[in-house]
Amino acid sequence: MKSSLFGGVSKKPRRTPKDLASKSHQCLERVINKCPLEKDQESLAKYFQETRAILHGDGTHDLDPKMIQELVEECVKQSIPWMISQGLPMLEFEARKDAAATYNGLVRAKDLETGRYKVAEELSERNDGEELEGLILGYEKQSSALAYGAMLREVVRHEKVLEKVLRRESFLKFFEYMQCENFEIASDAMASFRECLTRHKDTVARFLIGDAYEGFFEKFNDLLERGNYVCKRQSLKLLGEILLDRASGEVMMKYISKAENLCLMMNLLRDDAKSIQYEAFHVFKVFVANPNRLPAVTSILEANKEKLMHYLSKFHEERDKDDAQFAEERQTLIDVLQGI
C-alpha cells in the first residue's frame, strides 16, 4: 500500500481480467507440470481470490457485468476452467476453495449480448470429454472431492453438458462413490448423483431408456440390496421420484415389468429400518397399481397376496393420523391385491 498525498492509504489497483487470466495460466501450468516456482502457490491464492471477487463480489466492489464478461473471455482464451479441473488437487487449501468458486462463477456467467453461457457451451462442444471425466473422477481425490462435486453440480445445470456426463462410462462410478467410507464424500456424491438424475428430466429419461438401462439398473438394484442404510434410503427415495415422474413413463413401465425388481421391493418392504420400508412402499405400489402387469409380475403378487394383504393392513399405522394420503394408498393396494 502507498501513502496518499494527505497521509492516507491508497487502495492497490485491481489486476485486469487479462492480467489475472494470464498470470493464473502461467502458475497453473507450472503446478500441473510439477515444476512450480517457490511463490506459485501463494500467487495462485491471490489470483483466485481476486477472480472470485470479480465473479461473486467481495463487499468492497460492486459486481461489474462488463468486467465479468471480459474475465470470462480471457479465462476461456487461457484455458483456465480446464486447468482448474486438472490442477485442483495440487493447490493448497484456500487456493483450492477459491479456484472451485472461480470455476463455478465462470460456468454461471452469461454473455451480455447473447445470453449464452460461454464456458458451458465450450464444455459441451468439446469432443474429448477430458474435463468432464476429471470432474467425475475427482471423487477419488479425497482432499479435493467436495470441490469437484460442487463444480460437477454447477456444470450439469446445463442440459447439453449433463447429457455428456450421463453417457460417460465413469458416471457409473457414482455407485462406488456413494458408498465411500468417508461420510462427507459419500453424501456429496449422492447430492451430485441426485442432481444429475433430477435436473433435466427429459434428458435423463432418454438416457435411462436407452442402451444404458441394463447396466444402470443392475448397479442401482445392487446398491438397494447391499448398500448401507443411508444409500438404501436415499436411493429408494430417488428411484420413486424418477419412476413417478411424467417424463419417465417409459422407464417406469420397463422397470415394473421385471419380476426381479418386484421381488427386491417386497424384500425392502420388510427391511429392519422403517424409513426404508416406507420408501420401498412408494415403489412397490407402482407394481401393484399397474393395470397392464406382465404375467410373471401378476403371478408373484397372486402367490403372495394373502401375506402381503395381512402385512399391509398394519403397515406403518402410526402414520395414518398425520398422513391421510398414505393411509388411502395403502388401502387401495390391499383392495387391488384382493382382486388379483
Sequential DSSP letters for 115-158? ---HHHHHHHH-SS-HHHHHHHHGGGSGGGHHHHHHHHHHHTTS
Identify which of 162, 265, 259, 182 has the alpha carbon closest to the alpha carbon of residue 220.
265
- At residue 63, the pLDDT reads 86
Query: Over its length of 340 residues, how does the chain's per-residue pLDDT go in tens digits?
Result: 444 444 444 456 679 999 999 999 999 999 999 998 889 999 999 999 999 999 998 877 778 999 999 999 999 999 999 999 999 999 999 899 999 999 999 999 999 989 999 999 999 988 778 899 999 999 999 999 999 999 999 999 999 999 999 999 999 999 999 999 999 999 999 999 999 999 999 999 999 998 999 999 999 999 999 999 999 999 999 999 999 999 999 999 999 999 999 999 999 999 999 999 999 999 999 999 999 999 999 999 999 999 999 999 999 999 988 889 999 999 999 999 999 8
- At residue 5, the pLDDT reads 46
Kindly report the pTM of this predicted structure: 0.90
Query: Coil, helix or strand for 202?
Result: helix
- At residue 61, the pLDDT reads 73
Query: Are 307 and 334 a contacting pair, CB within 8 Å?
Result: no
Q: Residue 337, Cα to own-chain centre: how many angstroms?
A: 37
Q: What residues form DSSP beta bridges with 3?
A: 9
- At residue 1, the pLDDT reads 45
Query: Are 203 and 158 a contacting pair, CB within 8 Å?
Result: no
pLDDT digits (tens, 9 = 90+) for 18-36: 999 999 999 999 999 999 8
- At residue 12, the pLDDT reads 62
Place of cell 420388510: 270
Give 300-309's long-range contacts (Cβ < 8 A, gap of 24+). Answer: 300/259, 300/262, 300/263, 300/266, 301/262, 301/337, 301/340, 302/340, 304/266, 305/337, 305/338, 305/340, 308/266, 308/337, 309/334, 309/337, 309/338
Residues 6 or more apart in contact with residue 236 via CB below 8 angstroms? 224, 268, 276, 279, 280, 282, 283
Residues 6 or more apart in contact with residue 241 via CB below 8 angstroms? 198
Query: Coil, helix or strand for 9?
Result: strand
User: Cell for 169?
Assistant: 462410462
- At residue 129, the pLDDT reads 84
